[in-house]
Amino acid sequence: MELKICHMYPDVLNLYGDRGNVMCMRKRLEWRGIDAEVTRLPIGSSANLAGFDLVFIGGGQDFEQQVLLDDLHRGKDREILSAVRDGLPFLTICGGYQMMGNYYETYDGVRCDFIGAVDLYTVGSKKRMIGNYKFQCGTESGGSVVVGFENHSGQTFLGEGVQPLGQVLAGFGNNGEDGTEGVRWLNVFGTYSHGPLLPKNPAFCDQILLTALQRKYGTAELAPLDDAAELAAHNEMAAKL
């Protein structure tokens, strides 16, 4: 078995080492004897997503989100939209998560029209939502408790009928108001959680990998791994929160 992973905009969307999530996915596949091929699609690269099994998009500052707009609207937007409708799994973080939605209006009043692949929008607020946080995924996303780190000015609001990724247990999540965190739409997983999200949340990582493997191969199972170190990191932060 093999997964072809696309890392989109690694050049501009990589806050707090979001790319560590790609390394984590690759490693957890390799430990089970499953091949993983990672292809980077920076600004200016081909928009073609054909042949990929999983797409990762990290987060970025308002400035970087504006920098990529021209490139996005040169074809990657349409390609992402049709891939989402086709059920391709995406893991998108913060600025990358906002990009899957309709638009982001920054606190300075700059409007970024995004992809509209998921019915959600984001509006910048004066107060930044910063800190370690935790949330519980919905059952369709595995139901695990995820510990993460968020840092965003944008408040995201989901359209009618769009399910969040989970419910906030501590911290802000989508907007600091309605208790929701992230989004789960078809096979899009969107979250505000930055940096080492997957290394310290192995159950959530495996849920995403399984989604991709099952879509590709019909059925798939993941052999258990020794997650003692990962769970020690996870449990320590979960207890603090």
Residues that bind ligand GLN (CB under 6 A): 15, 59-62, 65, 94-95, 98, 151-154
At closest approach, how far in Å is the CB of 8 from ligand GLN? 14
| CB of 70 or CB of 108, closer to ligand GLN | 108
| CB of 112 or CB of 209, closer to ligand GLN | 112
At closest approach, how far in Å is the CB of 99 from ligand GLN? 9
Quote the Cα angle for 58-5-214, to 5°.
115
| CB of 95 or CB of 142, closer to ligand GLN | 95
Active-site residue 73, yes or no? no
In total, the chain counts a number of residues equal to 241
Catalytic pick from 137, 194, 205, 234? 194
Reduce the DSSP state of residue 136 to 3 states and report it: strand
| CB of 89 or CB of 95, closer to ligand GLN | 95
Active-site residue 137, yes or no? no
Catalytic pick from 6, 24, 94, 112? 94
| CB of 135 or CB of 230, closer to ligand GLN | 135
Task: Report d(CA 232, CA 85) in Å as an integer.
Answer: 37
- Are the CB atoms for 165 and 137 separated by under 8 Å? yes
Task: Report d(CA 136, CA 147) in Å as an integer.
Answer: 9
Task: Report d(CA 58, CA 18) in Å as an integer.
Answer: 6
| Six-digit token string for 128 | 């930044």
CB neighbourhood size of 167 (10 A): 14
At closest approach, how far in Å is the CB of 1 from ligand GLN? 32
At closest approach, how far in Å is the CB of 156 from ligand GLN? 8
Contacts of 196 (CB under 8 A, 6+ apart): 17, 20, 21, 24
At closest approach, how far in Å is the CB of 59 from ligand GLN? 3
Contacts of 97 (CB under 8 A, 6+ apart): 57, 59, 156, 182, 183, 190, 191, 192
Q: Active-site residues: which are they?
A: 94, 194
